Structure 1
Amino acid sequence: MSFLEKMDDVFTEKWKFEQETPIQTKMIPELLNGRDVVAESPTGTGKTLAYVLPILQRVNGDKMQTQALIVAPSQELAMQIVNVIRDWVEGTTITVTQLIGGANMQRQVERLKKKPTIVVGTPGRLVELVKAKRLKMNDIRYIVLDEGDQLLSRDYRVIVKDLIEAANAERQVAVVSATITDEIEIVAKKLMNDPIRLQVSVEDMPLSGKVVHSFVKTEARDKTDLLRGLSHLPNIRALAFMNNVDQLRMKEFKLQYNEAPVAVLYSSMKKFERQETLESFRKGDIRILIATDLAARGLDIQGLTHVIHVDVPHTIEQYLHRSGRTGRAGEDGEVLALLSYPEERTYRKLAKGFKPVQKVWYKGKLTEGNSKTVSAQKPATKKPTTNKPKKKR
């Protein structure tokens, strides 16, 4: 009998899985036994439910206490986690609320007065509420760092450390991510009590879709036109990544001017703008959503056909996180890099284990090709001849 089948009857109707994923099989029993966990598993492999289900089993919705805290690096991921929890606690006394930046803080304070069982939030807003003595950390016994590699990076490390140390002394901590580096594991262990390390690879997944890794050689200045063309391909639904917010904003202006079905997502957008953008993308009104790594962290968008690296990422961890957005739950997908000449060396290092296929963009189609074919996209133009008479000497 699986661990999910052993849960309380109140959740039986909801917990009807055809098959547990490997990370759920490994992680759920450890969390139910009270262990601290550092878990690494590819994107789209069920990590959210792997920590949500044990939390729902261990908290008590009848207590007027906030007992569990889930920290996420982005507003979108936090809202996504809240929606998952709401689906599972329907009909129970367990409550959940989100505490994210960009939203009205006073409303969040009012919700905290009702003592939600679980809170899900972004680091900045959580710290604000703790300092204002609105979020009582001493009652919190269960803490999850989703996208833990991001939350334990230098940008958030001190904030997250303070949150964990302010929680109940008997707290249980879980760190989950698609990539856990040695540095992040060392940092995590300092904040945890003898954590167990769990790892799942793509090869361990029973429903791994076929994902093609490919690239198109192009000039940097032509990437915007190429994105516009790709957005008009039939049945494309792509999440595109850029490294720089300023460059992303420039792309947004040029693409919107030409009315391409493309939109952008970045961290400084207002909450309602981000929600509208994601809703339009999920409905199919937008064909390509361009985002920064932070804005797209943990996003689970069903039916994503492509991940596009508009800019080649700096690290293999970035490449894996981005690429893992497609090919989820057994579906096929494609990871396409728009490759300018200066990016070639970095890309070949990152994609070394994936055997990438070269493709060309020609006459509005993306087809397999080679470097010789690329030149056919822009045939050389001869200067017009003139019949001007030669000057006499």
Structure 2
Amino acid sequence: MSTNFSTLGIRPELTQFLKESGITQPTPVQIQTIPVIMAGKDVIAQSQTGTGKTLAFLLPILEKLRGSAPHVQALIVTPTRELTLQIKAEAAKLADVLDINVLAVYGGQDVDEQIRKLRGQPHLVIGTPGRLLDHVRRKTLVLSGVTKLVLDEADQMLHMGFLDEIEEVIQLTSSKRQTMLFSATMPPKVRSLAARYMTKPADIRIESANVTLDEIKQVIIELPEEEKLDKLCSMIDEYQPYLAIVFCHTKERAKAVNTALIQRGYKADELHGDLSQTKRAQVMRRFSEAKLQILVATDIAARGLDIEGVTHIFSYDISHDPESYIHRIGRTGRAGETGTAITFVIPGEHMYLRLIEQGIKSSIEKYKANGQKVIKKAKVIVTAPKKVIEKSATDKTATDKKAVSHGGSNLRSRRKPKAASEKAGTGNKTYGDKRKKSKGKA
């Protein structure tokens, strides 16, 4: 008998809502996790964003909440405002079916407005560590009645330095709580946290890093720092991504790269911690609606983003550890579709590249900026065939670039490709392959 949400124990009202929303078959993480959570056991689940993990904990939690109990019964802790809002949006739709009250609390939002909503006695609260503790200290949020606790993107929360805050939040909840920890990677710090606060947790691993990354074409470009911007632009022109995210290490870098792309005519915007919540929401909405083609972001701001249609990831600045790298490229290649992840490496950064390759247990194809492939063993450069060598920078001027993929029209007119290979514009091609353009299309 095939597994569906009904056989997993989800009530008819929710399964019907899921069906009407086009969700009929549970994903592997949902199949393995939902029965364990429904049984009341603690869970450690290693699963990438985009595999359906949010529903994996939301559905069984909502099943257990009592609408008649006027206090916070479940708490979901996340690292960022964006992830908090994404989970809240999904939870609110399901909660409406069951008459459950859901509230999101996070930094950057008016505190008084949050206090007013907290007085409405939500059953499920979703929030970031700092703002949750702020409300606890104001005595506007009581966590002693929380019996369902989820730590989502646990590795990133620890990476961002939230360990003390997370432990304080945990200790404020009921000693009889059920704890669920979800993480894309499981570094020792995450395991240690689980060991301290969880009771005989079920250990669920959906995919190893290798399996998760199989649908993502990974490429390294070795080049000097001063050539990064021109190379980024030429590759955007070459691959013509439907949606692309460009990752930078700092807010200042993200601002500078975004400004340069806009000056060259690309439909781009930035996402980082200096933006107001209103501006961040506006940028995310425009990107998700494909009114922007390129989002220039910092790692923290883009954490947990689940945007359909992201075909390309550009690491303008290389990740310094495998976990960050996996999270970056995990924004593409979702739900069985393919994606392309390109990382720029300047001289002196190969130690980070070695760490990444060790972490993902795989060697990544390497090229010079001119399209020449680097052969690892021989440590020499082999010139690629002419048909795959990239056009010279002299073929077009930097100031004459147009917004790609839409021939000067609004990006809304860009048709989202149905096939993954069409969407990525690369299929199984190597880095240097050119995307063939049919007549009449930009």
Q: Provide TM-score, normalisation by structure 1.
A: 0.87
Question: Per-residue displacement from partner, 1:108-153 (whole Å, max 9, x unpaired)?
Answer: 0010000111111111111110100001111211111110112244
Tell me, in whole angstroms, the C-alpha distance in 2 between the residues paired with 1:359 and 1:276.
36
- Structure 2 counterparts to residues 237-276 of structure 1, below 5 A: 237-276=243-282
Cα deviation, residue 222, structure 1: 2.1
**What runs of 5+ residues in structure 2 fail to find an aligned partner?**
375-380, 395-442
Match of 1:156 in 2: 162
Match of 2:224 in 1: 219
Match of 2:298 in 1: 292
Cα deviation, residue 231, structure 1: 4.2
Cα deviation, residue 351, structure 1: 3.2
Name the SS of the counterpart of 2:93 in structure 1: helix
Question: Per-residue displacement from partner, 1:31-74 (whole Å, max 9, x unpaired)?
Answer: 11111111111232111111111111110123222211111101
Q: Does the CA-based 8 Å contact 1:66-1:140 persist in structure 2? A: yes
Q: Are 1:171 and 2:174 an aligned pair?
A: no
Tell me, in whole angstroms, the C-alpha distance in 2 between the residues paired with 1:29 and 1:377.
57
Tell me, in whole angstroms, the C-alpha distance in 2 between the residues paired with 1:214 and 1:91.
45
Q: Does the CA-based 8 Å contact 1:209-1:333 persist in structure 2? A: no
Match of 2:5 in 1: 4
Name the SS of the counterpart of 1:110 in structure 2: helix
Cα deviation, residue 154, structure 1: 7.0
Match of 2:428 in 1: none
Q: Which moved more, 1:227-236 or 1:327-336?
A: 227-236
Q: Does the CA-based 8 Å contact 1:153-1:184 persist in structure 2? A: no
Q: Match for 1:67: what amino acid?
A: Q
Cα deviation, residue 3, structure 1: 6.9
Highest CA radius of gyration, 1 or 2? Answer: 1
Match of 2:321 in 1: 315
Q: Are 1:195 and 2:198 an aligned pair?
A: no
Cα deviation, residue 220, structure 1: 1.1
Name the SS of the counterpart of 2:310 in structure 1: coil
Q: Which moved more, 1:320-329 or 1:146-155?
A: 146-155
- Structure 2 counterparts to residues 58-73 of structure 1, below 5 A: 58-73=64-79
The structure-2 alpha-carbon separation of the partners of 1:211 and 1:150, relative to structure 1 and needing over 3 Å to count, comes to closer
- Structure 2 counterparts to residues 1-393 of structure 1, below 5 A: 2=3, 4-5=5-6, 6-16=9-19, 17-153=23-159, 155-202=161-208, 210-232=215-237, 233-351=239-357, 353-358=361-366, 369=373, 371=381, 372=383, 377=392
Tell me, in whole angstroms, the C-alpha distance in 2 between the residues paired with 1:231 and 1:284.
15
Question: Per-residue displacement from partner, 1:290-335 (whole Å, max 9, x unpaired)?
Answer: 2111111111011110111111111111111111111101111111
Q: Match for 1:356: what amino acid?
A: I
Question: Per-residue displacement from partner, 1:255-296 (whole Å, max 9, x unpaired)?
Answer: 334442222111231101111111111122221212111111
Tell me, in whole angstroms, the C-alpha distance in 2 between the residues paired with 1:220 and 1:243.
14
Cα deviation, residue 368, structure 1: 7.8
Q: Which moved more, 1:231-240 or 1:353-362?
A: 353-362
The structure-2 alpha-carbon separation of the partners of 1:136 and 1:126, relative to structure 1 and needing over 3 Å to count, comes to same
Q: Does the CA-based 8 Å contact 1:208-1:330 persist in structure 2? A: no
Tell me, in whole angstroms, the C-alpha distance in 2 between the residues paired with 1:154 and 1:230.
31
Q: Does the CA-based 8 Å contact 2:158-2:189 persist in structure 1? A: no
Tell me, in whole angstroms, the C-alpha distance in 1 between the residues paired with 2:35 and 2:171.
25
Name the SS of the counterpart of 2:228 in structure 1: helix
Question: Per-residue displacement from partner, 1:221-248 (whole Å, max 9, x unpaired)?
Answer: 2222333344445343111212222322
Tell me, in whole angstroms, the C-alpha distance in 1 between the residues paired with 2:64 and 2:97.
17
Q: Match for 2:228: what amino acid?
A: K
Q: Match for 2:232: what amino acid?
A: L
Greater relative contact order: 1 or 2 (C-alpha under 8 angstroms, separation 6 or more)?
1
**What runs of 5+ residues in structure 1 fail to find an aligned partner?**
380-393
Alignment RMSD, CA only? 2.6
Question: Per-residue displacement from partner, 1:160-219 (whole Å, max 9, x unpaired)?
Answer: 1111111122111111011011221112221222322211215897x9873211122322
Q: Match for 1:10: what amino acid?
A: E
Tell me, in whole angstroms, the C-alpha distance in 2 between the residues paired with 1:308 and 1:39.
28
Tell me, in whole angstroms, the C-alpha distance in 2 between the residues paired with 1:201 and 1:243.
27
Question: Per-residue displacement from partner, 1:367-389 (whole Å, max 9, x unpaired)?
Answer: 7855546898468xxxxxxxxxx
Q: How many residues align?
A: 374
